[in-house]
Amino acid sequence: MSRPRISILTFGCRANQYERDAMERRLRRDYEIVDESADVYILNACTVTRLADRKARQAARRLRREAPGAAIVLVGCLADAVDRGLSDFNAADLTAGNAWKGRIAEVIRSALSGTCGRLPRAKPLPLDDDRSDGPRDHVRALLRVQDGCAGACTYCLPTIVRGPSRSKSVAAALAEGRRLVDRGFSEIVLTGINLAQYAPPDGRLHDLAHRLLEIDALRRLRIASINPAGLTDALLDAFAADRRFCRHIHVPLQSGDDQILAAMARGYTVADYEAALGRARERFDDSTFGADVIVGFPGEDEAAFRGTCDVVERVGFANLHVFRYSPRAGTAAARLPDQVPERVKRARTEQLRDVWSPIRRRLLDNRIGSTQDVLVEEGRNGRWHGHTRDYFYVSFDSATAIPLGAERPVRITGVTDNHLEGVSDDRDGSR
């Protein structure tokens, strides 16, 4: 008798991606994990913006057309938002909030038995009980060590539905990291909803970093995203102590105007933000930075928007994620006056990308002629692809086959379509 077939469609942040991997681990013993032709489709959905909600609805409608006999299960932040009356979603047979991800086998059994509607709210399992075997067919694995948030950013719905901050112990995170490396993952990416609030009883983020870097076979350690308050001297010292700790740091900015930051309740000023990045640059001059920016937050006038553009120019971000502000029911920002028209948000989004594009191009051009260590993530027909330690994507030629997950020194010869081109230095061999 064949096992039921389960497919997981994931939307949104790295925490959701980690939770997908963790759900697959929990289900793999009793079910076949597939990409299509499933008996049950799990929509692991995000609710950070209205666009995120819409993507999940579109996926559900497509599945109804293509797989009318399959059950559709909505899990994650969007499911919690629906349960709280903060969003609508009528396309799923069964809805289960984030806490049910740790009990996903129960959810699947309910779906296969024909249960419909919403599962009752559940208490989340301790993070120490949650672990992942890593994603299929990748060399980089996420390690979620924190969930929830003790902050109250006025625009943020996910922190409302995920609840207060929780941390995985250093001991449990280290054990999971060792298992991931033993399974062949070359790079670990630490992730959470707000890593700056990582605070288990047995250490802090810098303690975890030092312990993970004791794993000899680990080639790279990276932080997915961290707010400015998390860039402590102790963490920066950990970055500086071992070159395997990748010095590309994603630090959400959200706005380059102090009044807008105060209205967002971000807890820092522009000067605080730039000082945090400056401390990193003092310790290692090869650091690069990424950021998230929200355009069109209520009250953002031309001067405030110009301030954001100015910060982007001063910092010189290697990566920039630009989002149009999206009012979310249940958040304080949705009730603020001076909402910015959508046409203005769209125009400012394009203007900011125009400001950032030449910055990105200069950073790429500056690497021409250098040799960069590239973590090989895929390859075929003598053409290989991967990322540098500062997270630039590289395509390169090699005269010899390279095992996935190896690091290879690559001489950068040019820039094409916003990524680097190069040639492997075959004399050094794979590492």
CA dist 161 → 85, 122, 193, 281, 367 (Å)? 11, 12, 12, 36, 42
CA-based nearest residue to 85, from 157, 9, 13, 152: 157
Rounded Cα distance between 207 and 196, Å, is 13
Tell me the pLDDT of the chain averaged across its residues. 95
**Residue 82: enclosing H or E segment and its boundaries?**
helix 77-83
- Which two three-digit tokens encode residue 384? 């290989």
**pLDDT reported for residue 380:** 81
Place of tokens 């630039």: 392
Query: What is the tens place of the pLDDT at every residue in 226-269?
Result: 999 999 999 999 999 999 999 999 999 999 999 999 999 999 99
Separation between Cα atoms, residue 149 and residue 253, nearest integer Å: 17
More confident residue, 203 or 401: 203
Are 265 and 235 within 8 A, CB to CB?
A: no
The pLDDT tens digits of the residues spanning 260-295 come to 999 999 999 999 999 999 999 999 988 999 999 999
Q: In terms of residues, how long is the chain? A: 431
Which tokens belong to 306? 């110009």
The confidence score (pLDDT) of residue 159 equals 85
Cβ atoms 99, 126 nearer than 8 A: no
Per cent of the chain over pLDDT 90 is 91
Measured distance CA(214)–CA(345) in Å, rounded: 46
The full set of domains in the chain, from first to last, is 5-118 (3.40.50.2300), 126-246 (3.30.750.210), 255-364 (3.30.750.200), 371-424 (2.40.50)
Over residues 378-394, mean pLDDT: 93
Q: What is the pTM of this model?
A: 0.94
Spatial separation of the C-alpha atoms in residues 106 and 111, rounded to whole Å? 9
| Contact of 88 with 118, CB cutoff 8 Å | no
- Residues 6 or more apart in contact with residue 421 via CB below 8 angstroms: 394, 395, 396, 412, 413, 414, 415
DSSP result, 51-78: HHHHHHHHHHHHHHHH-TTSEEEEEEHH
| 27-44 pLDDT per residue, tens | 999 999 999 999 999 999
Contacts of 163 (CB under 8 A, 6+ apart): 124, 148
At 92-149, the pLDDT tens digits run 999 999 999 999 999 999 999 999 999 999 999 999 999 999 998 899 999 999 999 9
